[in-house]
């Protein structure tokens, strides 16, 4: 009894090759760029940070030096310090995936993660003053 025949192997390797091709295509065309973090001050984009730099640093925006952001080597970012009463922005923790966001409403600051390429797959948030 031949449980495995020649054509079985051909079929299986063909399917595996097709899936490999699909996967490579996807890798090359879509997943190349690392996400970015956008920081908004009262709904105005004031700073854009590339998350794929692989460096760790602390920074704040000119509009409000009391709020400190922390960029990590692994490509995540969070609110490190803030002078707001409840510290909800700090408690929101590390953000790294497109679509995630953290907000500091008393200071009117929004930190949101957007895809690296130009697309509209991100959250739309507005804070009035």
Give the binding site for other proteins (CB under 8 A): 1-8, 11-12, 15-16, 18-20, 22-23, 26, 30-31
Identity of the residue, 3 or 129, whose beta carbon is nearer to other proteins in the bound complex: 3
Q: HSE-up of 34 (CA within 13 Å, CB side)?
A: 13
Identity of the residue, 33 or 43, whose beta carbon is nearer to other proteins in the bound complex: 33
Contact 119, 112 (CB under 8 A): no
Distance in angstroms (rounded) separating the CA atoms of residues 79 and 110: 10
The minimum distance between CB 19 and other proteins, in angstroms, equals 4
Q: Which residues, other chains included, contact 76 with Cβ-Cβ below 8 Å and sequence gap of 6+?
A: 51, 94, 95, 96
The minimum distance between CB 125 and other proteins, in angstroms, equals 22
The minimum distance between CB 28 and other proteins, in angstroms, equals 12
């Amino acid at each position: 009894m031949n449980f495995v025949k020649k054509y079985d192997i051909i079929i299986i390797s063909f399917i595996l090759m097709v899936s490999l091709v699909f996967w490579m295509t996807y890798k090359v065309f879509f997943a190349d760029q690392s996400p970015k973090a956008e920081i908004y001050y009262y709904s105005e984009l004031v700073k854009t940070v590339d998350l794929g730099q692989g460096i760790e640093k602390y920074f704040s925006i000119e509009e409000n030096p009391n709020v400190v952001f922390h960029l990590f080597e692994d490509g995540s970012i969070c609110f490190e310090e803030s002078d707001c009463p409840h510290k909800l922005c700090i408690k929101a923790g590390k953000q790294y995936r497109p679509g995630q966001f953290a907000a500091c409403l008393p200071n009117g600051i929004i930190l949101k993660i957007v895809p690296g390429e130009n697309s509209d797959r991100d959250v739309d948030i507005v804070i009035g003053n």
